[in-house]
């Protein structure tokens, strides 16, 4: 509004200035010309009149100085002209005057020295403008010589009140001024109209520019003409379109970044150069149990109370170099994190830091598990191999010829070879189950029948231990599973229930309906498992009593194979046990 007003004001001012200057010049010029022309007009009119009057004056009356005749003539002419008429002799004596009475004529001064008279008596046309002592007024005079045969006999003078000339001039000037004023008015009206038309698109541009500056980029200017302003409007429209496109592009880019930022598995935190948090992603909120909205603007250490991570961020802000470090976290969760922090530069100066925090707890655990596994496998292999090696050496050292022991030694070696074989088979099963290629061929299986067959296969074992066996699974209870794998599960549970049972103990296979799943339990009244071992019982090579397990031919891999098989069938495994009273191992499977 301010811009428009000032532009309007400036335009009006410049219009007025130009108009006033132009009309000022025109007026001055006109007045000067008018004055000159009016005077010239008056002069020539007076000369004409004087010439006409001189023609009517008889030369005889001049020569004879026949004053009454001249007075009579002037009396006749007085009403026909607005001028005063004076007739003088060649010596300058006033012979007649239209404004003076006959009686006063003798008192009148000699006019020979009056400039116009003296010019006329010299044969020229005399002009003069001066103050008349006789009439006490400014007068304009024109005098013509009265001649006969080239001889100057006198002069006739016409005088006009200058006020009369001024009046004439004034009338003309008023007319001119009126014209000028009307023109001025018209110029002003049309000027205002054209100015409004010129300013309207500029106002439109200001309005649209203001909308654009407020972030509303949907507005455009409609160019109403084809002039430079329209060109400017088109340019402004193109600019607005470009800005809108760019903003849309930046928005889309930001949205993509935001989506990546929010869906990242890594926790990301951005801090400014003073170490205050600018933003955190949901993973950080989850890890540290904080609300992103609450921590923005707060110092890093204050929001994420971890000295190690704060140190990493500090060193990045101080040194301007990326830092990568593993940081164990105890609170609020017991985890291991990999921190990768990089400086954010603004030109050459450090403007902040971006830290990506990756939860590597699982990787670490897997690494430990892998190294434990290798150590376990090596150990499991080493023991029987050492024993076999020892017996081979003994046999080669002469025991081969010892008929009392050689067979016994070979049988021990066979036992250990079998153990090795079982171990390798279990390891292969486990590797196969973990591999992507493992294929499960699912079919409809009657659980009662499967348990019955597994128990029947182990009849010698359980009979030897005098166990009471009961298969409480209802017949006609079906699941959809891989039969070989499920047989492996039943075999492991039942083998363990026999192995770790007490003589004359009990072994029962039962089930529970969990709605969507069936829970199958293998219960024994054996040695049970101490409470502290229960959480780790399904781990590879985990055995409560290693020596006893080995003695019983166990590898410590059976339960972990079961867990793999069941989980691949979308089920779960578990155990309940009381030391010395017995255990209940169970698995669940989705109903058919
Ligand atoms: P193993 O080959 O040693 O039987 P498993 O993985 O089948 O290996 O079992 C791991 C360990 O779990 C066993 O060594 C034993 O200590 C314990 N265990 C398994 N089943 C029973 C059970 N029914 N009663 C008591 N302990 C058991």
Give me the tens of pLDDT residue by residue for the chain, a chain 592 residues long. Answer: 455 556 777 877 887 788 778 878 877 887 788 778 877 888 888 899 888 888 888 888 888 888 888 888 888 888 888 888 999 988 888 888 888 887 888 888 888 888 999 999 998 999 988 887 777 888 889 999 998 888 888 999 998 887 877 777 778 778 877 887 887 788 778 878 888 877 888 888 888 888 888 888 788 877 777 788 888 888 888 888 898 899 899 999 999 998 998 888 889 999 999 999 999 999 988 888 888 888 899 988 888 888 888 899 999 999 999 999 998 877 666 888 899 999 999 888 999 999 999 989 889 888 888 888 888 888 888 988 999 999 999 999 888 888 888 889 999 999 899 989 988 999 998 888 888 777 889 999 999 999 999 999 999 999 999 999 999 999 889 999 999 999 999 999 999 999 999 999 999 999 999 989 999 999 999 999 999 999 999 998 888 988 777 777 788 899 999 999 999 999 999 999 999 999 999 999 998 7
For a mutational test of ligand 1's pocket, the pick from 424, 509, 540, 543, i.e. the residue with the most ligand atoms closer than 8 A to its C-beta, is 543
For a mutational test of ligand 1's pocket, the pick from 554, 575, 586, i.e. the residue with the most ligand atoms closer than 8 A to its C-beta, is 554
Which residue lies with its CA nearest to atom 23 of ligand 1? 497
Question: For residue 235, with 0-12 CB atoms within 10 Å meaning exposed, 13-18 middle and 19 or more buried, which class applies?
Answer: exposed
Could you tell me which of 588, 584, 557 has the C-alpha nearest to residue 571?
A: 588
CB 152 within 8 A of CB 112: no
Give the integer Cα–Cα distance in Å for 48 and 55: 11
What's the 586 CA to ligand 1 centre distance in angstroms? 13
| Paired sense of beta strands 94-97 and 84-89, if any | antiparallel
What's the 538 CA to ligand 1 centre distance in angstroms? 9
Residue 1, pLDDT score? 47
> What is each CA distance from 568 to 130, 424, 433, 482, 492, in whole angstroms?
135, 22, 9, 10, 17
Give the integer Cα–Cα distance in Å for 576 and 571: 17
Phi, psi (deg, nearest 5) at residue 277: -70, 130
The token duo for 314 is 């500090």
For a mutational test of ligand 1's pocket, the pick from 422, 556, 581, 585, i.e. the residue with the most ligand atoms closer than 8 A to its C-beta, is 556
CB 119 within 8 A of CB 144: no
Put simply, whether the predicted model's pTM sits higher than 0.75 gets the answer no
Residue-wise pLDDT for 392-429, tens only, equals 999 998 888 888 888 899 999 998 999 899 889 999 98
Give the integer Cα–Cα distance in Å for 251 and 241: 15
For a mutational test of ligand 1's pocket, the pick from 461, 465, 500, 552, i.e. the residue with the most ligand atoms closer than 8 A to its C-beta, is 500
Give the integer Cα–Cα distance in Å for 281 and 302: 17
Could you tell me which of 292, 268, 471, 265 has the C-alpha nearest to residue 355?
A: 268
How remote is the C-alpha of 142 from its chain's centroid?
90
Give the integer Cα–Cα distance in Å for 50 and 212: 82
Q: 138: which strand partners? A: 131
Residue 332, pLDDT score? 65
What's the 556 CA to ligand 1 centre distance in angstroms? 7
The DSSP result for 486-544, as a single string, is HHHHHHHHHHHHHHTSPTT-EEEEEEEE-SSEEEEEEEE-SS---GGGGGGTTSTT--S
Q: What residues does ligand 1 touch, defined as CB less than 6 Å away?
A: 492, 496-497, 500, 524, 526-527, 529, 537, 543-545, 549, 554-559, 583
What's the 409 CA to ligand 1 centre distance in angstroms? 28
Residue-wise pLDDT for 116-173, tens only, equals 999 999 989 999 888 877 778 888 899 999 988 888 889 999 988 878 777 777 787 7
What's the 579 CA to ligand 1 centre distance in angstroms? 13
What's the 236 CA to ligand 1 centre distance in angstroms? 82
Please work out, in degrees rounded to the nearest 5, the angle formed at the alpha carbon of residue 576 by the alpha carbons of 571 and 581: 145
Which residue lies with its CA nearest to atom 12 of ligand 1? 543
Q: Counting atoms of ligand 1 from 1, which one is nearest the CA of 543?
A: 14
> What is each CA distance from 181 to 24, 30, 34, 44, 188, in whole angstroms?
11, 14, 17, 31, 10
Could you tell me which of 567, 573, 570 has the C-alpha nearest to residue 587?
A: 573
The most distant pair of C-alpha atoms in the chain lies apart, rounded to whole Å, by 207
| Paired sense of beta strands 126-132 and 151-161, if any | unpaired
CB 373 within 8 A of CB 540: yes
């Amino acid at each position: 509004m301010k811009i428009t007003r000032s532009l309007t004001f400036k335009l009006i001012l410049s219009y007025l200035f130009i108009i006033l200057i132009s009309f000022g010049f025109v007026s001055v010029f006109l007045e000067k010309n008018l004055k000159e022309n009016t005077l010239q007009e008056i002069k020539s009119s007076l000369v004409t009149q004087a010439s006409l009057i001189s023609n009517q004056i008889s030369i005889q009356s001049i020569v004879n100085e026949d004053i009454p005749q001249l007075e009579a003539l002037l009396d006749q002419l007085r009403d026909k002209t607005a001028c005063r008429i004076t007739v003088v002799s060649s010596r300058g004596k006033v012979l007649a005057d239209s404004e003076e009475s006959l009686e006063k004529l003798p008192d009148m001064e000699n006019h020979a020295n009056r400039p116009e008279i003296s010019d006329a008596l010299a044969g020229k046309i005399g002009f003069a403008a001066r103050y008349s002592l006789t009439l006490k007024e400014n007068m304009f005079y024109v005098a013509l010589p009265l001649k006969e045969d080239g001889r100057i006999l006198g002069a006739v003078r016409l005088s006009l009140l200058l006020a009369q000339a001024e009046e004439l001039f004034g009338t003309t000037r008023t007319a001119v001024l009126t014209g000028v004023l009307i023109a001025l008015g018209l110029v002003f009206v049309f000027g205002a109209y054209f100015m409004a038309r010129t300013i309207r698109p500029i106002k439109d541009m200001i309005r649209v520019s203001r909308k654009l500056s407020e972030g509303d980029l949907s507005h455009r200017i409609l160019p109403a003409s084809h002039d430079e302003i329209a060109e400017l409007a088109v340019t402004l429209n193109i600019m607005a379109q470009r800005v809108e496109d760019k903003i849309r592009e930046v928005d889309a880019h930001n949205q993509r970044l935001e989506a990546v930022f929010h869906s990242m598995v890594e926790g990301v935190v951005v801090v400014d150069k003073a170490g205050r948090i600018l933003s955190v992603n949901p993973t950080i909120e989850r890890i540290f149990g904080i609300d992103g909205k609450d921590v923005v603007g707060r110092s890093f250490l204050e929001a994420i109370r971890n000295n190690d991570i704060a140190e990493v961020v500090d060193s990045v802000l101080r040194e301007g170099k990326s830092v990568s470090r593993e940081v164990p976290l105890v609170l609020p969760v017991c985890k291991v994190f990999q921190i990768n922090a990089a400086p954010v530069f603004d030109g050459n100066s450090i403007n902040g830091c971006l830290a990506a925090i990756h939860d590597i707890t699982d990787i670490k655990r897997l690494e430990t598990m892998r190294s434990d596994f290798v150590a376990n496998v090596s150990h499991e292999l080493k023991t029987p191999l050492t024993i076999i090696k020892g017996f081979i050496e003994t046999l080669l050292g002469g025991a081969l010829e010892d008929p009392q022991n050689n067979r016994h030694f070979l049988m021990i070696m066979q036992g250990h070879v079998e153990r090795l074989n079982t171990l390798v088979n279990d390891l292969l099963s486990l590797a196969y189950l973990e591999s992507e290629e493992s294929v499960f061929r699912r079919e409809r299986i009657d659980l009662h029948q499967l348990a019955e067959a597994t128990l029947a296969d182990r009849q010698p074992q359980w009979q030897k231990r005098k166990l009471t066996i009961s298969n409480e699974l209802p017949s006609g209870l079906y699941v959809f599973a891989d039969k070989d794998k499920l047989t492996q599960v039943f075999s492991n549970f039942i083998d363990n229930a026999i192995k770790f049972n007490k003589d004359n103990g009990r072994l029962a296979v039962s089930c529970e309906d969990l709605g969507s799943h069936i829970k199958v339990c293998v219960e024994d009244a054996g040695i049970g498992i101490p409470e502290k071992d229960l959480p780790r019982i399904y781990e590879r090579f985990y055995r409560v009593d290693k020596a006893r397990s080995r003695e019983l031919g166990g590898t410590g891999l059976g339960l972990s194979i079961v867990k793999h098989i069941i989980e691949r069938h979308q089920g779960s495994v578990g155990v309940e046990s009381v030391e010395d009273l017995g255990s209940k191992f169970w698995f669940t499977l989705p109903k058919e």
